[in-house]
């Protein structure tokens, strides 16, 4: 919980971000509107919507932080106008269709945090046909960059810490996009506005970005940086671009290449980047052409997934899975949720059925509570 509140403390400390959302909501919200705050966190966007005059705000979050949002709303006298729901937005039904849905699960490159999928579901089930999405469009920007310190950080696994060979971790480190706080002078060419996603009408699909950059500053290429600009309302736009003096306090994403390449003015860098939003995978191929020759590098976040052979074997299409004892215990908890048995009675039965796992009902209580919090109502 501490790390979660620290993350939101950082968001709240970004006065520029808060101001832009406030302006957008004031521009779009009317007193007749119902607004959904999707992935509410501490509830700041719902508070801004209520202050802008919304008739009703539905603040939705699947984490325990929703209780903090509830208390913050009460502390500001807004308990009557903001209704808090502890649930995933994809699993909830609301008493009415909303006029506006607002969220900030944009990540660093625009699509890392499932915002697109969440908005598609909200558009289909929770929003009126003419409802408004905030943001309604995300533009993805890319540029070749010089980032020696981040390249070295990823390659620390090649340095034999304590005299041991840790090189098997290199693919994980080099195929994981890294957060960076870029300066304008680190860009090796003009950036490219590569793709626009319309959250108010597009369905998730693979995005293919191809571009040839002409190097305009000599330096060493370490990877491709990505960032976003979003349209919050007709007159309000927000970005984390390193070129913008009005950018919000959010890092960019760095997609590393295998080996640094020295570049001179006039050299070429070619990027082919594919985003699979439903699989949460990004793949990128970077090729360079210089006076000294050509080189290429191919990376993918798929290679950064730490999955054991045992896990893969259990999910093969031809596998015939059976439940573990813990799985059996979880199934029992769910089967006992019949609207008649109390939680205490469920704990007793689970402990009695699985004495090797739970020596008493009090030991089963956290396990039962975790299951009920996720799957019961």
* C-alpha to C-alpha distance for 44 and 63, rounded to whole angstroms: 15
**Is residue 132 assigned to a domain?**
no
191 and 237 both lie in a single domain: yes
**Is residue 313 assigned to a domain?**
no
362 and 272 both lie in a single domain: no
226 and 163 both lie in a single domain: yes
162 and 268 both lie in a single domain: yes
Task: Tell me which residue range forms the domain holding 290.
Answer: 138-304
List, for residues 168-204, the tens digit of each pLDDT value: 999 999 999 999 999 999 999 999 999 999 999 999 8
pLDDT given for residue 2 in this prediction:
53
Kindly state the average pLDDT of the residues 325-350.
Answer: 95
275 and 223 both lie in a single domain: yes
191 and 268 both lie in a single domain: yes
**Is residue 117 assigned to a domain?**
no
Whole-structure pTM over 0.75, yes or no?
yes
Q: Residue 248 belongs to a domain with what CATH number?
A: 2.70.160.11
Strand partners, 258: none
- Residue found by looking up tokens 């984490």 in the block: 63
Kindly state the average pLDDT of the residues 130-140.
Answer: 96
Q: Residue 31 belongs to a domain with what CATH number?
A: 3.40.50.150
Given 78, 104, 130, the domain boundary residue is 104
Question: Cα torsion for 99, 105, 109, 112, to the nearest 10°?
Answer: -110
Q: Would the CA dihedral through 20, 25, 26, 28 be positive or negative?
A: positive
**Structure tokens that stand for 72 in this block:** 């913050």
Given 82, 104, 126, the domain boundary residue is 104
* C-alpha to C-alpha distance for 332 and 350, rounded to whole angstroms: 7
Kindly state the average pLDDT of the residues 275-290.
Answer: 94
Mean predicted lDDT score pLDDT of the chain: 93
Helix (H, G, I), strand (E, B) or coil at 227: strand
**Is residue 126 assigned to a domain?**
no
**Is residue 170 assigned to a domain?**
yes
pLDDT band at 142, cuts 50/70/90?
very high
List, for residues 207-258, the tens digit of each pLDDT value: 999 999 999 999 999 999 999 999 999 999 999 999 999 999 999 999 999 9
pLDDT given for residue 272 in this prediction:
98
333 and 256 both lie in a single domain: no
**Is residue 283 assigned to a domain?**
yes
Residue 4: pLDDT over 70: no
* C-alpha to C-alpha distance for 202 and 119, rounded to whole angstroms: 10
Given 58, 88, 104, the domain boundary residue is 104
**Is residue 118 assigned to a domain?**
no
213 and 284 both lie in a single domain: yes
342 and 194 both lie in a single domain: no
Kindly state the average pLDDT of the residues 262-268.
Answer: 96
> Under a CB-based contact definition with an 8 Å cutoff, are residues 225 and 200 in contact?
no
273 and 147 both lie in a single domain: yes
Strand partners, 238: 230
User: For the chain, what is the domain count?
Assistant: 3
How far is residue 348 from each of residues 45, 127, 237, 341, 374, measured CA to CA in Å? 42, 43, 56, 11, 20
Kindly state the average pLDDT of the residues 79-83.
Answer: 95
Interior CA angle at 328 toward 327 and 331, to 5°?
85
178 and 90 both lie in a single domain: no
Strand partners, 225: 143, 254
177 and 277 both lie in a single domain: yes
**Is residue 131 assigned to a domain?**
no
Question: Cα torsion for 132, 133, 135, 138, to the nearest 10°?
Answer: -110
CA atoms in the 13 A half-sphere facing the CB of 275: 21
């Amino acid at each position: 919980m501490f790390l979660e509140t620290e993350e939101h403390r950082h968001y709240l400390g970004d006065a520029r971000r808060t101001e832009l959302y406030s302006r957008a909501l004031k521009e779009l919200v009317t007193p007749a509107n119902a607004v959904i705050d999707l992935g509410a966190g501490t509830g700041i966007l719902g508070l801004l919507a209520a202050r802008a005059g919304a008739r009703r705000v539905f603040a939705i979050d699947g984490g325990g932080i929703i209780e903090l949002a509830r208390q913050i709303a009460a502390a500001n006298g807004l308990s009557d106008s903001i209704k808090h729901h502890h649930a995933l937005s994809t699993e909830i039904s609301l008493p009415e269709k909303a006029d506006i849905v607002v969220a900030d699960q944009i990540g660093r490159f625009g699509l890392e945090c499932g915002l697109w999928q969440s908005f598609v579901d909200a558009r289909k089930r929770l929003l009126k046909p003419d409802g408004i999405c905030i943001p309604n469009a995300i533009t993805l920007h890319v540029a070749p960059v010089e980032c020696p310190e981040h390249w070295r950080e990823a390659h620390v696994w090649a340095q034999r810490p304590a005299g041991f060979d840790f090189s098997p971790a290199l693919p994980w480190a080099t195929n994981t996009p890294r957060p960076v706080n870029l300066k304008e002078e680190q860009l090796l060419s003009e950036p490219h506005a590569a793709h626009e996603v319309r959250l108010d009408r597009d369905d998730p699909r693979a995005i293919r970005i191809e571009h040839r950059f002409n190097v305009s500053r000599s330096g060493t290429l370490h990877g491709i940086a990505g960032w976003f600009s979003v349209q919050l309302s007709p007159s309000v736009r927000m970005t984390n671009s390193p070129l913008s003096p009005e950018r919000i306090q959010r890092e960019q994403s760095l997609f590393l290449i295998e080996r640094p390449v020295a570049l001179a003015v006039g050299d070429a860098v070619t990027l082919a980047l594919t985003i699979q939003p439903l699989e949460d995978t990004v793949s990128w191929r970077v090729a360079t052409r210089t006076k000294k020759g050509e080189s290429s590098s191919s990376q993918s976040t798929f290679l950064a997934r730490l999955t054991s052979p045992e896990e893969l074997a259990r999910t093969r299409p031809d596998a015939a899975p059976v439940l573990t004892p813990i799985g059996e215990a979880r199934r029992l908890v769910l089967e006992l949720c019949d609207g008649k048995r109390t939680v205490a009675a469920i704990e007793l039965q689970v402990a009695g059925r699985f004495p090797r796992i739970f020596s008493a009902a009090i030991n089963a209580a956290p396990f039962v509570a975790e299951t009920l919090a996720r799957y019961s109502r």
